[in-house]
């Protein structure tokens, strides 16, 4: 069964009805259970669960420590291109965003310089990003960037436009470890309304892309919905369902979930379903209890003090000192168009301090690679 078929069994109306019907005792039963069903997930996403955030947080802490210990992996994004022909209405890189700042592809030398700057900070795990520009930033360009990044880092992932399976395989052959690909929203109607141009308008091609990456050999698969496009409870449910599906369909890959929340958007787009801090916390806790073995990534989109508060609630990976513009670390600092404004502007050393203050250990080294004899390193 494809994920689209599984999704078809969980239409919005069914999820809404389950959330609506959930009673406080359903929330308590869901928290107490060893393994949670989709119905339990609905209970934990319901308004009644707001009164149960403490026990949910205690269970989330227990599960995360059991599966991941008291460690937080550190990573950094490297935007290698901000050229984009797509028109996603919420994004600063969109071709019709109205932004006139400089767009470019980093050269091989510039990618090397960006990598060197981050390696000097101690990073061993990076995420390479582009817009959607198959001609300006073709797969061969991304493959070359992966190979360059592997000269500096044992763990390299990409967040680029959706690819065919053989294209993901090519990237894996150049040393790629992970693929991050957010569906943005799983609601097909909302999806069509916010994706106006480019390959990204193809809902089905994007929905299946992360599974293609898993089949091609990507060992880390990261998913997420862009919170704010529609009701967070519904997209949160579908994201968790997708995570569970991928854990089964791509069992050789580690699946992780991100919770990107829309905070800053281009002037032409106002966020239709703003998500509050308390709602984001509830969503993360509910998904942690539903997917105990999934990694949780937390980016610098969120405020520093809020990120610190989230650390013990299920987070396993954090970025720090991030730039969302190409060349933002070494070669074009402040010169190029950024994708979105970040909130947590602390340097990595300060974030590390905050992680330690919560009793967690920041981890720079990728231990999976250290112990994996099949690694191409
Ligand atoms: S979300 Fe991605 S594809 Fe869409 S406009 Fe932004 S960079 Fe381009």
pLDDT of the residue at 1: 87
Residue 2 lies in a domain: no
Residue 189 lies in a domain: yes
Residue 245 lies in a domain: yes
Residue 170 lies in a domain: yes
pTM exceeding 0.85: yes
State in Å, rounded, how far the first CA of the chain is from the last one: 35
Residue 60 lies in a domain: no
- Residue 261 has φ and ψ, to the nearest 5°, of -110, 130
Q: Whose CA is nearest to atom 8 of ligand 1?
A: 131
What CATH number should be reported for the domain holding residue 96? 3.20.20.70
Asked if residue 208 lies in contact with residue 222, where contact means CB atoms within 8 angstroms, the answer is: no
Residue 309 lies in a domain: yes
pLDDT of the residue at 71: 96
Measure the CA angle with vertex 88, ends 215 and 317; round to 5°.
50
Q: Whose CA is nearest to atom 2 of ligand 1?
A: 131
Q: Which two tokens stand for residue 11?
A: 């239409």
**116: CA distance to ligand 1 center in Å?**
26
Determine the residue of 77, 91, 324 to mutate for testing ligand 1's pocket, defined as the one with the most ligand atoms within 8 A of the Cβ atom. 91
**131: CA distance to ligand 1 center in Å?**
5
Q: What number does the ligand 1 atom closest to the CA of 87 have?
A: 5
Residue 86 lies in a domain: yes
pLDDT of the residue at 366: 57
Nearest to residue 49, comparing CAs of 237, 218, 307?
Answer: 237
Asked if residue 226 lies in contact with residue 191, where contact means CB atoms within 8 angstroms, the answer is: no
Structural domains of the chain, count: 1
Q: Which domain holds residue 306?
A: 70-371
The rounded average pLDDT for each run of 10 residues, N- to C-terminus, in the chain (377 residues) is 96 98 98 97 98 98 96 97 97 92 96 97 97 97 98 98 98 98 98 98 98 98 98 98 98 98 93 97 98 97 96 95 95 90 94 96 69 40
Q: Is 70 exposed, middle or buried (0-12, 13-18, 19+ CB in 10 A)?
A: middle
Residue 3 lies in a domain: no
Across 146-270, where does the E strand assignment appear?
155-159, 178-180, 220-224, 254-258
């Amino acid at each position: 069964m494809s994920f689209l078929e599984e999704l078809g069994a969980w239409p919005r109306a069914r999820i809404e009805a389950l959330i609506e019907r959930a009673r406080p005792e359903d929330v308590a039963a869901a928290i107490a259970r060893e393994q949670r069903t989709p119905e339990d997930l609905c209970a934990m996403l319901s308004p009644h669960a707001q009164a149960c955030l403490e026990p949910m947080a205690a269970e989330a802490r227990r599960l995360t420590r059991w599966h991941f210990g008291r460690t937080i992996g550190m990573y950094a994004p490297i935007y290698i291109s901000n050229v984009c022909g797509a028109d996603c209405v919420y994004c600063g890189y969109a071709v019709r965003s109205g932004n006139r700042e400089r767009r470019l592809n980093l050269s091989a030398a510039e990618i090397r310089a960006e990598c060197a700057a981050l390696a000097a900070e101690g990073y061993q795990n990076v995420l390479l990003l582009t817009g959607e520009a198959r001609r300006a930033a073709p797969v061969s360009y991304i493959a070359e960037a992966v190979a360059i990044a592997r000269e500096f880092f044992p763990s390299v992932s990409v967040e680029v436009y959706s690819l065919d399976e053989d294209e993901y395989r090519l990237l894996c052959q150049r040393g790629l470890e992970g693929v991050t690909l957010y569906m943005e929203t799983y609601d097909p109607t909302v999806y069509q309304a916010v994706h106006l141009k480019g390959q990204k308008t193809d809902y089905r091609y994007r929905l299946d892309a992360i599974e293609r990456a898993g089949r091609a050999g990507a060992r880390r698969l990261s998913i997420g919905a862009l919170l704010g496009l529609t009701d967070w409870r519904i997209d949160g449910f579908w994201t968790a369902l997708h995570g569970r599906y991928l854990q089964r369909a791509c069992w050789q890959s580690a699946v992780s979930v991100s919770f990107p929340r829309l905070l800053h958007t281009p002037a032409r787009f106002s966020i239709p379903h703003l998500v509050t801090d308390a709602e984001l916390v509830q969503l993360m806790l509910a998904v942690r209890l539903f997917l105990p073995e999934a990694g949780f990534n937390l980016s610098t989109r969120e405020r520093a003090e809020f990120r610190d508060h989230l650390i013990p609630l299920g987070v396993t990976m954090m970025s720090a000192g991030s730039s969302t513009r190409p060349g933002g670390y070494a070669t074009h600092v402040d010169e190029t168009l950024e994708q979105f404004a970040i909130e947590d502007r602390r340097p990595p050393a300060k974030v590390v301090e905050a992680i330690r203050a919560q009793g967690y250990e920041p981890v720079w080294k990728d231990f999976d690679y250290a112990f994996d004899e099949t690694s191409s390193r």
